[in-house]
Every structure is written in structure tokens, then in C-alpha cells.
Structure 1
């Protein structure tokens, strides 16, 4: 009989998908968190992504949902998938998904390199397009290799989306001037609704483009968008972030609150503060961080307060807590002073999230109601992605963020749907206004024990 050493036996067991073993993690140990994140990512891709299989569509999760197949996913979730895997790569050095990420993003760019492929243009909203643009800008920020000189480059794609959406901003619409509609076409439900998420994504993208290119026009447009949301009451003086407002009446906001809206907005504010050093942006960032943690982390665990407790979350909403975690993690990177407040709740929330990963045939699929600390429902791509983002959010980055030197134009060749405003100078510098190193601060916090 062949004898296996304990170490080899452990490796074989960990590499076997069918092993019935719940995910365990020491949230204060970076290697332990990386191992857990890798397992969640592997289960996510093997269970829910089929774009590399014959007859499937490359780059997206199976969908969209229909009356005959309600289990499908909407198109935007593909962008969220690649954004999440890019962050996993940035924080762990994991590169085994590189080819599928690049292929998935490029397949959905569309004829005009603007993330509006023909199959989805008729049903896409500004927020759908925005999620794909965010995956592209994350690729640029994290140094993910461009696909090649004959393909649209990541920065080009992000800029094209921003330019198109800037041209769609409402003008001459009374109080609703300066913001985006939810939907692109009048025949779609939601065309007369100004949803905060579309505008938060646009604001966030502009702030990031300003940082990457040092182009002031992006920053100016982003600032005006935030001001417009504030004037509509979609962001209040107390930093409540409401869901949207009727475009025709343009009064009485819909006061539902979702973590994706708040997270996306505060992340953009962090970039604006990093870019400008302006006290106004620090005040906004501090207010958004404080209120977001207070509202969406009861007991230190991320909760989708508008739907989770009453069981009314739809399939889109399963992704939101992951977006929240990623946004807060990025906020710590670009505004390091916030880590002292943010990291403790990310850690307690990530620990609770991982504790739900006891379901499925392999005994480690992840659930949604993290505060309960156990698997209670069927896992889906949204629950897996949210737990993945929760785990990644407490990791230090392992690669240097890319910088672009130039005039704020495209990062390489590839078609461009419009000419971006140009500005001279080098790329924005991380941390020129924030002082302490984020790695030093996070390292110190990680060294302390977590009591929950």
C-alpha cells in the first residue's frame, strides 16, 4: 500500500471538489483568507459560469431570467463577475482566471467599444453599461494586461462609456437636469425614472478616470453629478442615499435604500478626496462612510436592510453586499485614514459571510443571510460573489496600481466612440493628500485580535 505523508494528503483533500468540508477561515490571517477566497471563487466559476462551454454566451452568467427560466441572470452581472475576479487577482496574485476574464470582457464590448453589444442594447440601462465600464477601469487600475493592440484597451472602454453617458445627461428638464435616466430607450420600463445607481456609477467612473488620467474635465463632471443628486434629495444632508426619483415630476424621492447605491457613491467620494484634497469631499466621504456603516452593518455584519429581513430580495440584490464590501475596501486604499473605521466591520462581516459557506453538494457553497451565521437557502452566483468580495475586502493588495502618463486619451489602440476631452499632465498620484500608507495602517489593524 502506498503511504501518503500528512502534508500530501492534505493537499489532495483540498484539491478535490467533492470533499464535504465547510469553508473555514481565520479572518486575521491573510493566507487563511486567501485560501478561503480561492475556494469560493472556484465554486463560483465551476457552478455558475458556463460561458466557456459549447453553445453558451461568452462573458455573462446564464440568462436573462424569463417566465420559463426564472433562474437566469441579467446581463450586468457579467460585469460584476469580472470586476470581482479582477479584485481577487489584485489582492492574492491569483492569475489562473486571466484568460477567461479578458475574453469575457472583450466579448461584450460591442461594435463601438462601449459595452453595448447588439444582443443587449435594446434592454440595457445606464447602470448595466456602467457596471461593465467599472470592470474595465478596475482592470486598468490593477494593472491587468490589455487584450492586444488590435482590441479595445481597458481605459478606452471606460472612457467611451463615460463620454456616451455624459452626452445622455438630461438638460432643460427642470429640476432633473444634469442626471441620467435609468433606461436608454422610451419603450423600456424605467425610462422616466432617475435611479441613483446609474448616476452613482457615472459619478464613480468619472472620479476614477480623473485619477487615472489627471484630466480635470472628468473630475468636474463627476462633481456636478454629485451636486445634482444632492439637489434632488437623492443624497441628503444626513447622507441617506435614496433609490431614485420620477423624472417627470422630479420630486418626492423613492426612499428605499440599497447598499450598492451607498457603496458606489462613497467610493467615488473617496477618489474625489484623493484627487482634490478638498475638505468638502472629506466631509462628504466621512458622512457617507458613517451612515453606510450605521445602516448596512447592524451588529457589524452587512445586511441588505430594504429586503433581507423580510425575505423580499430579488436575484439582483444578492450581488449588492459584495459591491458594498468592495467599495469600502477600495475606499480604504484611496483614503487610508478611513481604514480605522471601515476595516473592523469588513472583518466581522467577512467572518460571518464565510460561516454561511456550508451548503451544496460539496458542503461549502455560500448563503446570503450572513448575520444568522449559517447556510439557509440555495446558493447562487450573487451569494457566491458577495462572499468572495467580502473575503477579498480584508486583504492587502499584492500588486502596484497602474498609472497612466499622457493626455487623458486612450490607453492603447482600439475604436473610440467619441473624442474625450484632453488634458495635460501625468496621472494622479495615490495618497498625495492622505498621508499615512494604507498598507501600514491595514497591517496594524490586521495584527490586532478580532472580537465579535
Structure 2
């Protein structure tokens, strides 16, 4: 990487970059400091904002990371700004969000048609929704409503894709018929539409969004993707009229629904229907995705791939979204806050312990239950640790940890303040055997974004990941970009 006038080298020389992530969960300052270090490590993986970067690649992550995960990462850094008021990444995030809107301003850039699913588009929409809900600074030259406009544009492209030619409805996984997986109707795509609809309903007060949230939930429940005990299964094949389900459980599926459900609990002034659904989803999250071993109570894990060390690049980031949406749900549905705090506090401690690897001793690992760094590193691991640690700022006693805690609504929407007199107490959450967790393992994994169904062909990524040893200079360059040292010219890359 080139150093503009030597600025990168000079700035890097003044930074303290060595040492494991230290975290005292009882100290707001410690949580903020740890979050700052993790935000830095996460942003370090971004390098597609140099003067030589093709315009179509600005705002994306290096291959083989898919387009959607960049959108998810920017959402995490928006939250970081909202909770801490640290403006280090604001201009970089603004540039990235606007670079990928596509010609119709709806997050459908033609350069990524070959891997563009409804879920991919949804993750970018969820990030700009967070920007609207927290009042993230608007990029110069854009309307003050730009983030809301973008989120609504995504909604307005997704609901017309509701497919009644099979299964009596539902969104397909893929947007375009020529992409593998077009005949798969999955929970993350439909869950994305559900959460977008629920959040737009609360933000705008428009009942059309509530109607679509209810329609999506009802379809997922009727088809069996949401079970009577709130398991959320991966997906189903519409060529079989959705008569068979892939029963794989991924953490981002129930947590995607959880935040939408908690939003509707809040929007409907604590209705029993949405309270029951919020409670059921939280209980499912706790029993399936926490406490993998007898000595790792309340530590988050990905049961479908972590124990076997088979998580692909997408799955390595899933814990980030569970932490994000658990914490946000506890804000808008405060009766679950005590239970969520217990889950995320222990998980944050374990995540911080994992951030002790690499050249500088602060690279984050994947399997938090081993009590240290497991040798698996990447943007998903960093983002998962960041989201889990910074989520504690939302959960501090009295709500004083985060600068911006409750998501806003538009000016004419009034939401009642919910102060429930009872709290949800989760029972035992371990679903594993009594065996203790291993103390340390080595290895890493990679792969492609695909549903677990063998009938769904995997997408084939290309290129290589940025070296973990280069993260310092990448991160510093990212910070410098906030001062306007970037360019987006270059040949289009396909």
C-alpha cells in the first residue's frame, strides 16, 4: 500500500497496537476502550477505498468475502458510532453506503448480480435503517432522508417479489433466476423482509409495513420455517412446494426475527402477541446458540459448524448479528434485558479472551469456548467480537453506557415508554453433554455463502484475503480516508 506523503507510516508509529483485548464488563470505560480496539481491527479488513480501487468495488470487502457482508459490517460500525460517539469511521462508512446503492438507489448494483440474493440486499437496507434510527450523519449533498429513502427503496423492490406461484407465497433466496439457489425459499431472506418491515412500521407509523411484517411471519410459520417451539429452520425447496425443510439451525435466523418481533412489541405498546413471539425466539436463541459445554455457560457459539471447524466465511460472522439483535431487542423490549445481559456479558468476556492471537496479540478467534485464540481469523471473527462487546454499552445499568441507546422514529410517530414490572428469566440454556470445553484448538476455515441444503449449489468466490499481518496499515489508511484522502476511479471489475 502506498503511503501518502509518509502519513501512514508516521501515524502507525504513534499507535499502540500490541496486546490482547482487555475487558472489564463492570466498567463502561473498559467496554468503550475494548470496543474501540475491536472497531479498529474490524475496519482494518477494509481496503477497497484506495485511488486504484474500481468504482464498483468501493465499499466492499476483499474477495472471497461476499458483497452482503460489507453491508453488515458497516451496520456494526454505525452502531459503534451511535454507542460511543467516536467519529473515526463516519466518512468511510458514508462513502461505502453510497458507493453501493446501484443505479436505482435500492442496493442492487449490477456488478454483483451473480451473487445478489434478497438476503444480501436486506443486510444493506438494515444498515441504512440503523443510520436513520440513530441519526447517523448524512453524506454531504444528500437529502436528510437519504437513509430512510434507501431502506424504503429496498422494501419496495422486495415485496413485489413475493412469489405465490409456489408454497402460497414467500421470497426466494436469489433475486435472479439464473443464480443457483433461485428455487430455495429461506428464512434469512424472508426474515430480512420481516425485520425491514417491522422497523419501518415503527419508524414511520405506516400500517402497510406492519401488514407486510405480519404477512411474512404468518407465511414462515405456516410453511414450518418457524416451528411451534420457535426453532427457525434454514429453508425449503419451492420445486417441492415447500413440503420438505432443511432443518439446519443458524444463529442469524432466529435473531433476525427476534429484533423484528421486539420492534413490533414496542410499536404495539407491549401487545401480548408480540411479547409471546419475542419471548419464544429469545428462549430458542438461548437454548440452541449458547452454552456449548458444561464449563461454558452463556458463551455464544454456532452449533452447525463451530464444533466441527467447518464454518465458511459467511458463517464465521453469524454471531455478530445475534449479538447485535439480542442487545437491540433488549432496548425496545426491556423485559428481556436481564436475560440478554447475562448471555452477552459472558459471551463478551469469552470473545475478548479469544482476541489474543496474531502478530500483535489482539487478533480475534472464532471458537470462544476454548478460552483463548483458536487460530481462526478474519473479518467475521473481528466483527463478531466487536458486536458482542459493544452491545454491553446498551445493557449497562440505567442505560447510561451508550450515547444513543433507543432507536428514533420520525417526528410524528410516538412510541409509549415501556417499563415492565416483570423480567424474563431464562432457565438452563445448555443443550450439550456434560463434557467440558477444550482449552485450545488450532485451525481456520473458509467457504462460500450457501444454504446447507445439498440441493443448493454453492457460489464460487475468487481472489485472496488481505494478510492479517497487514491489518495495521489498512486500518490506518481507513482512518486517513476520513480526512478525504481517497479516490474511487478505476476500471470496472466483474
Question: Aligning the two structures, in what range does the TM-score lie when normalised by the shorter sequence?
Answer: 0.7 to 0.9
C-alpha separation in 1, matches of 2:273 and 2:421: 22
Of 129, 138, 142 in structure 1, the residue corresponding to residue 130 of structure 2 is: 138
- Deviation digits for residues 304-351 of structure 1 (CA, Å, limit 9, x no counterpart): 011100111101001100100000011011111110111111000010
Of 427, 433, 449 in structure 1, the residue corresponding to residue 413 of structure 2 is: 427
For residue 398 of structure 1, what is the aligned residue in structure 2?
403
Secondary structure at the aligned position of 1:367 is classed as coil
Conserved 8 A contact 1:40-1:365:
no
TM-score using structure 2 length: 0.77
- Deviation digits for residues 230-268 of structure 1 (CA, Å, limit 9, x no counterpart): 001000111111000011211121000000111101111
CA 1:294–1:14: 2 relative to 1, 3 Å: farther
**How big is the shift at 1:148?**
3.9
1:375 partnered with 2:373: yes
C-alpha separation in 2, matches of 1:389 and 1:398: 16
Conserved 8 A contact 1:76-1:129:
yes
Secondary structure at the aligned position of 2:245 is classed as coil
C-alpha separation in 2, matches of 1:145 and 1:112: 22
Of 288, 313, 317 in structure 1, the residue corresponding to residue 281 of structure 2 is: 288
C-alpha separation in 2, matches of 1:272 and 1:402: 14
For residue 146 of structure 2, what is the aligned residue in structure 1?
153
CA 1:24–1:41: 2 relative to 1, 3 Å: same
**How big is the shift at 1:403?**
2.7
Of 363, 366, 386 in structure 2, the residue corresponding to residue 365 of structure 1 is: 363
Secondary structure at the aligned position of 2:115 is classed as coil
For residue 269 of structure 1, what is the aligned residue in structure 2?
261
C-alpha separation in 2, matches of 1:437 and 1:157: 38
Deviates more, 1:282-291 or 1:371-380: 371-380
Secondary structure at the aligned position of 1:243 is classed as strand
RMSD in angstroms over aligned alpha carbons?
2.0
**How big is the shift at 1:17?**
4.2
Conserved 8 A contact 1:91-1:399:
yes
For residue 65 of structure 2, what is the aligned residue in structure 1?
73
C-alpha separation in 1, matches of 2:363 and 2:318: 18
For residue 52 of structure 2, what is the aligned residue in structure 1?
55
For residue 29 of structure 2, what is the aligned residue in structure 1?
31
Conserved 8 A contact 1:211-1:428:
no
Conserved 8 A contact 1:60-1:104:
yes
**How big is the shift at 1:172?**
3.9
Secondary structure at the aligned position of 1:244 is classed as strand
Secondary structure at the aligned position of 1:355 is classed as helix
Of 199, 220, 226 in structure 2, the residue corresponding to residue 235 of structure 1 is: 226
CA 1:427–1:380: 2 relative to 1, 3 Å: same
Secondary structure at the aligned position of 1:394 is classed as helix
Conserved 8 A contact 1:213-1:428:
no
Of 194, 203, 213 in structure 1, the residue corresponding to residue 185 of structure 2 is: 194
Q: Which runs of 5+ in 1 are unaligned?
A: 1-11, 64-71, 406-425, 442-452
1:41 partnered with 2:39: yes
Number of equivalences: 394
CA 1:15–1:235: 2 relative to 1, 3 Å: farther
CA 1:15–1:142: 2 relative to 1, 3 Å: farther
